[in-house]
Amino acid sequence: MLAYVDYSRSKLDHYVDDPGTFSARVSPHRTYLERLSAAPLTVDWPPPAAGTLRFQRRELVSLVATFAPESTVARARALRSVADRPDYDRLRRAAEAAAELSDEEFERVAAGDAGEELSAARERRAALAAALADGE
């Protein structure tokens, strides 16, 4: 609609039945339409904490049920069980970690190199802690 609002009446005549009514209805609401977004209807990735997701799912289902097709409502209802899973926090942390990894880091983790580096770093930390304890 916003793409057509600046068209002349003669050009609008090709797209709408009544160019005058179209302009009168859309023009006053231009700012509202420009700011209209689906952001409040989305769940971020990585997902929020379980408590936040529980709140969002209640609001999302009630809102979406008023205007969306049943398939969309069904997807919103599917969120009901996600935050209640016993492993949700573990899955959420994994999603956060995956989202923060660069492609190179992801490849290192997938190849097992990051695990080896972590083991070596833990050994060095233990050795440093032992050395500090001996020096006290």
**Tell me: the pLDDT tens digits for 45-94?**
898 999 888 888 888 888 888 888 888 888 888 887 888 899 999 999 99
- Of 119, 44, 49, which is closest to residue 90 (Cα–Cα)? 49
106 shares its domain with 57: no
25 shares its domain with 56: no
Written as six digits, the tokens of 15 are 């797209």
Q: Are 13 and 2 in contact (CB under 8 A)?
A: no
106 shares its domain with 127: yes
Range of the domain at 14: 1-36
* Residue 24 pLDDT exceeds 80: yes
32 shares its domain with 43: no
Rounded mean pLDDT, 17-28: 90
- Of 35, 85, 70, 77, which is closest to residue 56 (Cα–Cα)? 77
Predicted confidence at residue 136, as pLDDT, reads 65
- Of 87, 91, 79, 86, which is closest to residue 52 (Cα–Cα)? 79
The C-alpha atoms of residue 96 and residue 88 are separated, in whole angstroms, by 12
32 shares its domain with 11: yes
What's the number of domains the chain is made of? 3
70 shares its domain with 45: yes
Predicted confidence band at 37 (pLDDT cuts at 50, 70, 90)?
Answer: confident
Task: Give per-residue pLDDT as tens, 107-117.
Answer: 888 888 888 88
* Residue 30 pLDDT exceeds 70: yes
Predicted confidence at residue 112, as pLDDT, reads 82
DSSP 46: S
70 shares its domain with 91: yes
86 shares its domain with 109: no
8 shares its domain with 53: no
- pTM of the shown model: 0.53
